[in-house]
Structure 1
Amino acid sequence: MLDLTTGLLHGLLAAAALLAAIPAVLLLAQVLASLWPGVARAVTPAGPRPRIAIVMPAHNESSGLLPALAAAQAQLLRADRLLVVADNCSDDTAAVARGANAEVTERFNTALRGKGHALDHGVRHLAADPPDVVIVLDADCIAQAGSLERIACLSHATGRPVQATYLMTAPNDSLKARIAEFAMRVKNRVRPRGMHRMGLDCGLYGTGMAFPWPVAATAPLASSHLAEDMQLGVQLARRGTPPLFCEEAMVSSTFAGTREGEQSQRTRWEHGHLSLLLGEGPRLVAGAVFAGRMRFLMLVLDMLVPPLALLSMATLVVCAIATLAAWAMGWYLPLALALLALAALAASILLARARYASDLVSLRELLGAPLYMLAKIPMYARFLVKRQVDWVRTKRDSR
């Protein structure tokens, strides 16, 4: 009985180490692939420009809506449309949008909350006069000049969803804010760039997304999931229209400027990601393996890479336990896997910082990252005992 228990514990520890190693090795592969020189980049296809409709979901966004509208309108032609979905608003978002000459539709349904339902409402509103391409742009995002046309043309030419580079900037110069910005660069630029250069597909990030009308009209948009963008990207890939990354197109926004807003924003993102990882991840992996869909499997594994802070914490904990087990019990397989995960993760972070974030954090400041990780432990603990399941708007400023 003791041997059976010992063998079971050995197997469980090895499995935990393997679960840490797989995303860490994938992350390293993505970072290394992003550094490959001489790889052709996506270009805007030749041919007539498609007719564009922007769908901009907005829940109580009147205070910051105008810059996003102005940046988008500067890139549209007369035949294009800019539709603001004023979703369950209690402020003057709709009036502000109309005052800026945007088309507006209002939606009131407190039972079905969340961005996915707002997008579904907006697409159905467009159906009477459908465009060639639908672009989703958040109400706090600024689209870089030329970006909307680029992703629209690429989407129209390929018949696939296209994801622009989506970056967020820190609202202040604190180390915590800059580390968060670094993690966002890794997630939304480095990793999809690496996937693209390996000839693989990327996920969706919620904004800066272009869909050919036939895809938009049939996509399962109406979702209350906190990670509806990740979920949608996988669902579309399973249907045969995986998203394509367009690094040259850029949209940007700023992290919440208040502690309350930052905590709310981060909790929504990471609880949503973890819910998707645990709730749908094993089924998606098994389905891809049994069907022999290796390309789809890589997209699913990319989706399942945990947030960088959580992956780092989990890897360090597994390494510590595996080290003790190797010393006390002579279990070296878990230790080897744990050290592989740690080495891959460390190499990924150092290479990504050197190439993509040397302006944000120095090597010395990176040593302060463990304090940032420790500060997130309560948020991960709440996922276990009281996880967030309802969509809550981020409080972006002091108002």
Structure 2
Amino acid sequence: MILLKLLLWIPTIIISINILVLFIECLSALWFKNKDNGDNQAVNTDYRLIIPAHNEASCLGKTLESLVTQVNQPEQILVIADNCTDATAVIAREYGVTVVERFNTEKRGKGYALAYGLQQLEANPPEVVLFFDADCLVGENTVKELTQKAIATGKPIQALYLMEKPEQPTPKDTISAFAFLVKNWVRPLGLTTLGLPCLLTGTGMAFPWGVINQVSLDHGNIVEDMQLGIDVALAGYPPLFLPTAKVIGILPQKEQISTQQRKRWEHGHLQTIITQVPTLIKGAMTQLSFPLLSLALELSVPPLSLLVMFWGLTLILTVGGGLLLGIWLPALVLILAGLLLFIAIITAWAKFAQKEIPLKSLILIPVYLLSKVTIYFNFLGKRESQWVKTQRD
């Protein structure tokens, strides 16, 4: 009987904690108040931008156009043309930026390219280094705001990174953009309101040189940004969120490309949960650090679609336990958790997504969940473990 009770209670407690974390973050985001970041102050800081680019000829130009007007000299932008077989390096040089070509077929991936870029700066290191992907548009004053915040706090800074829907979005694209918004905007905003650090989300990141120099990027982790955020936090520099600095990416239009991208993101996220949540908890205990504990709780929340799936399956399990064993309390706890999950999702939509995503689109969430079942089953048998570049449309 004890074993059966544990079988009911363990998943109930885990899912309920995940949902409670999400609920607190979404509601806290409602009370965020923007503070003056000193935008009127001149930036005298020595900074450099690194853009890793692997066969990005089709999109690099637009990214550089959004950046060259934000720097004092184009040479402050360093493009690492990484194992390229197209015109990436040629296009980058047309904008007057610094270009270094890297060829190493054994070490493929964004982490290796970023590490190589940092090596190029070691002889004369800047005060701040910023990372941007080659396929995004950088909002006005983003470089300035990130640099100022990194200098003022001495910590890594993450910009708001959102995804635009394709020109002809499918219902799945709309729900995917909403899930991305919750993950990259609503939840970090809630953490910021609570005075807590956030995870890094991939592009639009600034680091004081003394911070980024303490961790290694020379690896092929498929979610290197998430791992980097954990590494700098464990080193004593938990990242902070700056929502006024904005970076925009675009969801792939083609279904196959979109699925490949989601598979890499979500398999990497799940693998990081398994391996790094215990590490963060251990670090929180040894360092007596509440920020590290909060990051462990934040990281432990699975992708929104998987969280909903886990909640539904666990509810079925506990209802079965109630019918067979007469133990109804776990089911009641999950029903309450489900209500909190519903409130969190509706709150996030009403405050942050109502203008872009019609309410009727949320009705299609079950269809979106079904479309991702294969991705999660593949995690059990055909797990994505190596970096694979997302192909362009």
Q: Is the shorter-chain TM-score for this pair beyond 0.5, marking a shared fold? A: yes
Instruction: Return the offset for 1:78.
Output: 2.9
Match of 1:363 among 355, 359, 363: 359
Instruction: Return the offset for 1:228.
Output: 1.2
Change (3 A) 1:387 1:166: same
**In 2, distance between residues paired with 1:54 and 1:253?**
18
Residue equivalent to 2:137: 142
Contact 2:46 2:126 (C-alpha < 8 Å) held by counterparts: yes
Contact 2:158 2:201 (C-alpha < 8 Å) held by counterparts: yes
Match of 1:67 among 53, 62, 65: 62
**In 2, distance between residues paired with 1:269 and 1:84?**
24
**In 1, distance between residues paired with 2:286 and 2:330?**
27
Q: Give matches, 1:236-385, under 5 Å.
A: 236-289=232-285, 291-385=287-381
How many residues are matched? 391
Residue equivalent to 1:218: 214
Contact 2:281 2:296 (C-alpha < 8 Å) held by counterparts: yes
Residue equivalent to 1:178: 174
**In 2, distance between residues paired with 1:7 and 1:349?**
35
Instruction: Return the offset for 1:311.
Output: 0.4
**In 1, distance between residues paired with 2:155 and 2:95?**
31
Alignment of 1:229 onto 2:225: yes
- Per mean C-alpha deviation after superposition, the further-off stretch among 192-201 and 322-331 is 322-331
Alignment of 1:12 onto 2:7: yes
**In 2, distance between residues paired with 1:234 and 1:343?**
31
Instruction: Return the offset for 1:42.
Output: 5.3
**In 2, distance between residues paired with 1:185 and 1:269?**
15
Instruction: Return the offset for 1:364.
Output: 2.8
**In 2, distance between residues paired with 1:59 and 1:81?**
20
Instruction: Return the offset for 1:274.
Output: 0.5
Matched letter for residue 25 of structure 1: L
Residues 272-325 of structure 1, C-alpha deviation per residue, up to 9 Å, x if partnerless? 000111122234324424653222110121122110000011101111111121
Residues 152-205 of structure 1, C-alpha deviation per residue, up to 9 Å, x if partnerless? 111012111110100011113321111111111100000000000000011111
Residue equivalent to 1:3: none
**In 2, distance between residues paired with 1:332 and 1:240?**
44
**In 2, distance between residues paired with 1:166 and 1:42?**
20
Instruction: Return the offset for 1:47.
Output: 6.0
Change (3 A) 1:308 1:294: same
Instruction: Return the offset for 1:50.
Output: 1.0
Contact 1:141 1:251 (C-alpha < 8 Å) held by counterparts: yes
Matched letter for residue 162 of structure 1: I
Paired residue secondary structure (1:139): coil
C-alpha root-mean-square deviation of aligned residues, in Å? 1.6
Off by >4 Å, runs of 4+ in structure 1: 45-48
Paired residue secondary structure (2:134): coil
- Stretches of structure 1 lacking an aligned partner (at least 5 in a row): 1-5
Residue equivalent to 1:116: 111
Matched letter for residue 144 of structure 1: G
Sequence identity, in percent?
38
Paired residue secondary structure (1:279): helix
Match of 2:147 among 149, 152, 161: 152
Contact 1:56 1:139 (C-alpha < 8 Å) held by counterparts: yes
**In 1, distance between residues paired with 2:7 and 2:286?**
24
Instruction: Return the offset for 1:129.
Output: 2.1
Alignment of 1:52 onto 2:86: no
Contact 2:129 2:208 (C-alpha < 8 Å) held by counterparts: yes
Residues 369-391 of structure 1, C-alpha deviation per residue, up to 9 Å, x if partnerless? 00100110001000000101111
Match of 2:22 among 4, 22, 27: 27
Residues 185-232 of structure 1, C-alpha deviation per residue, up to 9 Å, x if partnerless? 100000000000000011111100001111122322222111111111
Change (3 A) 1:340 1:285: farther
Instruction: Return the offset for 1:394.
Output: 0.7
Paired residue secondary structure (2:14): helix
